[in-house]
C-alpha cells in the first residue's frame, strides 16, 4: 500500500480535476496517476455511453493503457444514466481503488456529478420513465419549455429556483422524480458528510486560447471519423432524439447526414455550441470558489500540480479545496 495514503474511514484522499471542456483535464489526470499510483474515475456524463468515443473525447486505448480508467462505456445510447447511478458507480470504484492502496482521481467537466460526489449528495432513487419523458418532451414542443418550468415552480419551487428555465432535461427529470415518488425533487437531495478528504484542482486558460483548443478538438474529431461514428449509431437504429445523442455535436452531425446542413456548417455550429458549453461550465466551477485551487493550464502545470498533490498526501489533510457540505452547490442557476 502506498504509505502516503491513509486508509482511515472518512479521511481517505480523493483528488478531483475540474474545469471547462478541452482545457486538459484528462492529460493531467493520466500524468498524476502515473506519478502517484492513481486510478482515474470518469466524471463526464457522456463518456458513460458505449459507441460514442470520438465525439465525447473518450480516452483512447493508448491513454487507458497508461492509467486505469473507471466509469467509461457503462450503458448503450438508448439506456438511461442518472446522477444516482453515477454516485453508486463512482463510490464503488473509489472504495475499490482505496482498498488497492491507490489514489482515486476524479476527472471530468460535469459539475453536477463532481459536486454531488464531493459534497455527499443523496440523489433521488427514481428510475427513468421513458414514456413520461416522451410525453413531457412532446408538451414542451407544443407549448415551450416555459410551460413545464411553470409546472415545476408550482410543484417544487425550491427545485425550480436552482434549475435554469431553459434546461429542459433537468426540468423533466425533476418532474419525473415527483411523478414517481410523490416527493418534491428538492426534498430528496439530502446530503451526508463527505466520505473523503479532497483536493480539488481547477484548470484555467484564457478564453481565446480555450476556444482555439475547442476548435482544434472539433476539427480533429471530424478528421478521426466522427461523422462515421454518428452515421453508425443512426444505422444501428438509435434515434437522434435520444438524450445521449443530444450530446454536443451528435445532433448537428445528424442534421448534416440528413442533408439539412453542410459539413462546414455543422462543424461551425458545433464549435460555437461548445464555446457556450464551456462558458456555462463556469456556473459549476467558479474562479472565486475557495474549494478549488486554480492552476493555469500552461507549461508549468504538471510541476505545480505535482507539488500540490505531494503536499496533500503527505500532510494528511488538504489546505486547498476541502469540501464543506454547508457551502452547497453553486448559487447560480444550473446551466450545464
Element (H, E) at 145: helix 145-155
My answer on whether 160 and 213 are in the same domain is no
Nearest to 21, CA basis, from 39, 43, 41: 43
Between residues 123 and 49, which one has the greater pLDDT? 49
The CA distances from residue 2 to 31, 86, 245, 305, in Å, are 17, 27, 41, 19
Mean pLDDT along residues 274-280:
95
Between residues 94 and 324, which one has the greater pLDDT? 94
The CA distances from residue 131 to 81, 238, 258, in Å, are 16, 17, 26
pLDDT tens for each residue of 132-152: 888 999 999 999 999 999 999
pLDDT band at 185 (very low <50, low <70, confident <90, very high): confident
**Taking the C-alpha atoms of 82, 86, 92 and 95 in order, what is their torsion angle to the nearest 10 degrees?**
-150
pLDDT band at 334 (very low <50, low <70, confident <90, very high): very low
- Please, where are the H alpha helices in 22-129? 25-35, 61-66, 83-99, 111-119
pLDDT band at 188 (very low <50, low <70, confident <90, very high): low
> CB within 8 A of 304, min separation 6: which ones?
295
* 7 within domain boundaries: no
- Residue 124 contacts residue 188 (beta carbons within 8 Å): yes
- For residue 25, give its domain range: 12-122+195-205+284-315
> CB within 8 A of 128, min separation 6: which ones?
80, 82, 176
My answer on whether 159 and 248 are in the same domain is no
Cell of 160: 425550480
Residue 330 has φ and ψ, to the nearest 5°, of -55, 140
> Running DSSP on this structure, what letter comes out for residue 2?
-
The answer on pLDDT for 32 being more than 90 is yes
CATH number at residue 19: 3.40.50.300
Mean pLDDT along residues 150-156:
93
* 331 within domain boundaries: no
* 336 within domain boundaries: no
pLDDT for 189 equals 64
My answer on whether 163 and 238 are in the same domain is no
This prediction has a pTM of 0.80
The CA distances from residue 241 to 72, 77, 170, 237, 238, in Å, are 22, 11, 16, 11, 8
- Can you tell me the distance from the alpha carbon of 71 to that of 88, in angstroms, rounded to the nearest whole number? 11
Q: Beta-strand (E) ranges in the chain?
A: 12-18, 38-42, 69-70, 103-107, 121-122, 190-191, 196-204, 293-296
Say how many domains are in the chain: 3
Grid look-up 473525447 returns 57
Cell of 89: 458507480
Q: CA end-to-end span of the chain, whole Å?
A: 38
Mean pLDDT along residues 101-113:
96
pLDDT tens for each residue of 213-262: 999 999 999 999 999 999 999 999 999 989 899 899 999 999 999 999 99
- Residue 32 contacts residue 15 (beta carbons within 8 Å): yes
- Can you tell me the distance from the alpha carbon of 300 to that of 294, in angstroms, rounded to the nearest whole number? 13
My answer on whether 171 and 224 are in the same domain is no
My answer on whether 115 and 32 are in the same domain is yes
pLDDT band at 335 (very low <50, low <70, confident <90, very high): very low
pLDDT for 124 equals 66
My answer on whether 74 and 200 are in the same domain is yes
> CB within 8 A of 181, min separation 6: which ones?
124, 126, 188
The answer on pLDDT for 198 being more than 80 is yes
> CB within 8 A of 67, min separation 6: which ones?
29, 30, 33, 34, 38, 39, 40
Amino acid at each position: 500500500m502506498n504509505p502516503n495514503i491513509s486508509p482511515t474511514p472518512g479521511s481517505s484522499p480523493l483528488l478531483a480535476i475540474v474545469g471547462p471542456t478541452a482545457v486538459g483535464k484528462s492529460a493531467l489526470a493520466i500524468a498524476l496517476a502515473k506519478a502517484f499510483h492513481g486510478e482515474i474515475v470518469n466524471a463526464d456524463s457522456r463518456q458513460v455511453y458505449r459507441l460514442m468515443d470520438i465525439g465525447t473525447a473518450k480516452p483512447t486505448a493508448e491513454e487507458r493503457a497508461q492509467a486505469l480508467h473507471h466509469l467509461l462505456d457503462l450503458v448503450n445510447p438508448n439506456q438511461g444514466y442518472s446522477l444516482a447511478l453515477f454516485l453508486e458507480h463512482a463510490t464503488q470504484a473509489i472504495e475499490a481503488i482505496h482498498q488497492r492502496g491507490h489514489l482515486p482521481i476524479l476527472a471530468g467537466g460535469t459539475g453536477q456529478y463532481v459536486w454531488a460526489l464531493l459534497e455527499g449528495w443523496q440523489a433521488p432513487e427514481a428510475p427513468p420513465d421513458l414514456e413520461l419523458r416522451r410525453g413531457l418532451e412532446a408538451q414542451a414542443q407544443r407549448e415551450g419549455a416555459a410551460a413545464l418550468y411553470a409546472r415545476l415552480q408550482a410543484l417544487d419551487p425550491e427545485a425550480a429556483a436552482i434549475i435554469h428555465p431553459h434546461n429542459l432535461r433537468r426540468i423533466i427529470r425533476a418532474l419525473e422524480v415527483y411523478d414517481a415518488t410523490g416527493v418534491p425533487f428538492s426534498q430528496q437531495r439530502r446530503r451526508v458528510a463527505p466520505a473523503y478528504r479532497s483536493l480539488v484542482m481547477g484548470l484555467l486558460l484564457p478564453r481565446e486560447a480555450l476556444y482555439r483548443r475547442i476548435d482544434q478538438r472539433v476539427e480533429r474529431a471530424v478528421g478521426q471519423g466522427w461523422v462515421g461514428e454518428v452515421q453508425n449509431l443512426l444505422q444501428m437504429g438509435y434515434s437522434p432524439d435520444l438524450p445521449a445523442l443530444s450530446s454536443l455535436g451528435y445532433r448537428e452531425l445528424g442534421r448534416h447526414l440528413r442533408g439539412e446542413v453542410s459539413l462546414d456548417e455543422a462543424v461551425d455550429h458545433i464549435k460555437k455550441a461548445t464555446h457556450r458549453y464551456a462558458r456555462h461550465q463556469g456556473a459549476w466551477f467558479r474562479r472565486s470558489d475557495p474549494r478549488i485551487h486554480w492552476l493555469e493550464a500552461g507549461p508549468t502545470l504538471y510541476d505545480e500540480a505535482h507539488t500540490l498533490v505531494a503536499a496533500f498526501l503527505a500532510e494528511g489533510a488538504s489546505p486547498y479545496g476541502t469540501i464543506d457540505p454547508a457551502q452547497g452547490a453553486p448559487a447560480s442557476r444550473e446551466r450545464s
